Amino acid sequence: MDESALDGKLGGMAWLLTTEDPALSPEARYLLVRVWLMFGTSPVRLKIKQLQELFGISRKTFLDARGELLADPRSEERRPCLVTRYQDDWPDWGPGKFTRGRPVREFRVERALGQKLASMPIDRGAVSQANKVAAALHCRAVQLGQNTDSFDGRVQVKAEDQLPSRLAIPGKLLLAILWNLADRRGVVIDAGLRRLSRLVGMSPSRVRNHLHRLEQLGFFTLRVPGLTGRFVPGKVPSALVLNSAAIGYPKLATDTPSTGIFLNLGELSPVASVHRKCDRISNKRSAAAVSGKVNDGDSDRWIEAEASAYPGLVPPHQEEEEGEEKPPPLYSAFAGEPRRAEVREYLLFKACDYVTWLVNEYPTELHDGERGERSEPDAAGALLERVERELLSNGQLRERYKGARVLLARWFCIHVWRRAREVIAVMAKNEEASPELVTENIGSRYSDILLMPVRGKTVHFLTYDCREQTDQADAKNPA
């Protein structure tokens, strides 16, 4: 795919993929986006067989989708997306001229729609991401991403020897929409069925089936299902990490391959084991209550104690009103969680998401905090606000713990903050450089840093891109 041919069309493509239009089927929307990317406002004068091969679509699907997009003179409810002209009506033909053979039916993007799409802006930094969206639309046949290793004596089949599996048109459209929603590292925070159903124009059950198919084919590096936790995190949508290699997106020739490192769970172990520890405390206190030996020890206040270590932010003082009931210990927000396995998986994913965000956006403040500077960093307040909004906004949690939930947010943030600093230290060790040098070069030499949990394992996977330093190259090859 020639990316230079997409200049001026990427903004319109993004608009078509994010605009909800229940009247359009997924096949019609897919055809409209492909026609816009390939031809823009120019007329399409190719034969149906040629368009079938170009768009990877069957004849029936193409004719049905084109008919859906064309103007209906009997309908005044909506404007057409495509308009047609016959060969004998082309304006550049003089009177009396005639060609032998069957006329070719010409069509093009409707004039007003074409002008609107051409005027859609796109940020310079989003061009690379938009090219990934276009690559997803062009994806035709893919290899199954399942593990083909055999341990039962059967003949093993190499991945390159497998037959390719075709991806249906709605699946390709869904994949392109997911890349359009993702950040530059391929992370989609909100991949809920209702949202995707509105964007794709399919029922939630069909969207679920296509998501499962895409996961089977290796288009997702990680998929975290949505859930509803009792207190934490409440109701949250599914999340995804997309695989750019699966869509065949090429890296620039000047870029070096991504670096991948497996890390131990480390500072995030309290987040992983919080439910088990809280259940143990709850059971112990319940047994003690029967014998009347309950005391006011600090064993159930460890979350509050750890929260006080969060950098640069003083916990807010809660004035207790007369007669107001004191909120229960924060550990009880995790005790007795019926969906602990899913909640644990989601919390670890969000922790990695926050670590990725801090390392990419606030590396300097992380390093300053490691040197012991106690001034309040902007990143600490921003992280605390995100955690409260995204993980601790459940109505039942607010009602039961009131202002004490800020301490719960601080407890979560302290482990994320330490983990982010540890990521920089790991990168420095791997690059044989000082943490100060790595911090200074994040965003220039080191980019697209991404930390992901490994499903079913107690390790995380860290990836980042590393560009060669131009100064050293210039020094070796002086002009």
Give 445's contacts (C-beta < 8 A, 6+ positions apart).
466, 467, 469
3-state secondary structure of 100: coil
- Give pLDDT, residue 128: 82
* Residue 51 CB coordination number (10 Å): 19
Q: Global pTM?
A: 0.84
Provide the residue ranges of all domains of the chain, joining segments of one domain with +.
3-91+101-123, 136-144+163-255, 266-314+329-473
Give Dmax (Cα) for the chain: 107
- Give pLDDT, residue 80: 86
* Residue 451, both tokens: 């930390």
Strand order in the sheet with 187-188: 187-188, 239-242, 220-224
User: Checking DSSP bridges between strand 235-236 and strand 187-188, what pairing results, if any?
Assistant: unpaired
* Residue 355, both tokens: 């670590």
* Residue 257, both tokens: 């391959």
Alpha carbon distance 44, 66 (integer Å) = 12
**Which letter, b or e, does each residue of 182-220 get, where b requires 16 or more Cβ atoms within 10 Å of its Cβ?**
bbebbbbbebbbebbbebbbbeeebbeebbebbeebbbb
C-beta of residue 17 within 8 angstroms of C-beta of residue 199: yes
CA 331 to chain centre: 31
Closest CA to 355 of 251, 263, 232, 237: 263
Give 82's contacts (C-beta < 8 A, 6+ positions apart).
32, 35, 66, 69, 70, 71, 107, 108, 109, 110
- Give pLDDT, residue 331: 92
Alpha carbon distance 98, 416 (integer Å) = 73
- Give pLDDT, residue 240: 95
Alpha carbon distance 411, 409 (integer Å) = 5
Q: Do domains 3-91+101-123 and 136-144+163-255 have the same CATH topology?
A: yes
Strands (E), 390-432: none
Alpha carbon distance 27, 177 (integer Å) = 13
pLDDT along the chain (479 residues), means of 10: 65 93 92 95 91 92 93 62 63 43 73 92 81 86 42 37 66 96 93 95 95 94 92 94 85 60 77 90 81 63 88 61 72 92 93 95 81 68 94 92 91 93 92 94 92 82 78 42
Conformation bin of residue 240: beta by default, left when phi > 0, alpha when psi is -120 to 50: beta
For helices 204-216 and 193-200, angle between their N-to-C axes, nearest 10 degrees: 100
Q: What CATH fold (topology level) applies to the domain 3-91+101-123?
A: Arc Repressor Mutant, subunit A (1.10.10)
* Residue 234 CB coordination number (10 Å): 18
Strands (E), 82-138: 82-85, 106-109
* Residue 288 CB coordination number (10 Å): 13
* Residue 298 CB coordination number (10 Å): 9
- Give pLDDT, residue 256: 54
C-beta of residue 426 within 8 angstroms of C-beta of residue 439: no
Compute the radius of gyration of the chain from its Cα atoms.
Answer: 28
Q: What CATH fold (topology level) applies to the domain 136-144+163-255?
A: Arc Repressor Mutant, subunit A (1.10.10)
* Residue 165 CB coordination number (10 Å): 12
